Amino acid sequence: MELYTILGYVGAFAVGLVLGLTGGGGSIITVPVLVYLVGVNPVTATAYSLFVVGTTSSIGAFQNYRKQLIDFKTAIIFAIPAFTVVYFTRRYLVPAIPDILFQTDNLIITKDLFIMAFFGVIMFLASLSMIQSHEDLESKEKAESIHIPFLILIGICVGLLTGVVGAGGGFLIIPALVLLAKMPMKTAIGSSLFIIALNSLIGFTGDLQSRSIEWPFLLIFSGISILGIIVGVYVSKYISAEKLKRGFGWFTLLVAIAILYRELF
């Protein structure tokens, strides 16, 4: 087994570990791990990421369900438009993007370059969300009533984002649930994992008819990530998830800058 493949599996464990420790954020590194360590094509990596993120988040959602930390009614309202957009994005939009988007004598913008550069921007925004503490978010003025139209609109945006880059979108979902649905932070985290699991797994089905899936590798990678989230949920009882999430946010910020530099320059 090559060194980079081994590092890729270590990265899979890290994805689950961070998800288990902090309730979100770890999925954002799945695509870079698959592309730069394992050598998977960026478009295929976004598809694989949906399956990995979906199965891993399902474990986290089940853990939160046992603690009664999921608001299913609000989560379903958010999830239905989100996973609908994810599915159609993976089934029709992503395959329709041409391999070469723009070309001049000195510049070629390919589909792979666009996806990774866009992913770098999303990672940058996600890192800022992780660096902001939960206390900062909860201290903001919340809505007096649940804004269902805004939840649906953000669900559509999350669906498009998840469909294009294969990330869970928790950095958008959690603030929306806290500020627009008046959820306590712990319930927002549990509900977010439930929404992410639905979005990702339903979105992944949009790829089944349009690309070949290397199931043995994907199942091993996902299994290692699930092991990571189980360990993370257990260890989270003994360490500060808030401090860890901020530290991971700074790490994600550096990775985002590195991706943008690599892809653009």
Give which of 198, 201, 206, 204 is closest to 75, Cα–Cα.
198
> What's residue 9's pLDDT?
92
> What's residue 249's pLDDT?
83
- Distance CA(76)–CA(78), nearest Å, equals 5
CA distances from 198 to 35, 85, 237 (A): 24, 12, 26
Assign 3-state DSSP to the chain and report helix, strand, coil percentages, each to 5.
75, 5, 20
Cβ-contact 252, 25 below 8 angstroms: yes
> What's residue 139's pLDDT?
60
Cβ-contact 57, 27 below 8 angstroms: yes
- Distance CA(10)–CA(214), nearest Å, equals 19
Cβ-contact 15, 33 below 8 angstroms: yes
> What's residue 122's pLDDT?
87
> What's residue 241's pLDDT?
65
Listed in sequence order, the residues at least 6 apart from 19 whose beta carbon sits closer than 8 Å to its beta carbon are 25, 26, 27, 56, 57, 60, 193, 228, 229, 232
pLDDT in tens, 11-23: 999 888 887 776 6
Q: What is the mean pLDDT of each run of 10 residues along the chain (265 residues)?
A: 82 86 73 90 92 89 89 93 93 90 84 90 85 65 69 90 83 82 84 91 88 91 92 78 77 90 86
> What's residue 44's pLDDT?
92
3-state secondary structure at position 101: strand
Burial class (CB in 10 A: 0-12, 13-18, 19+), 95: middle
pLDDT in tens, 171-207: 778 888 888 888 887 888 889 889 989 999 999 999 9
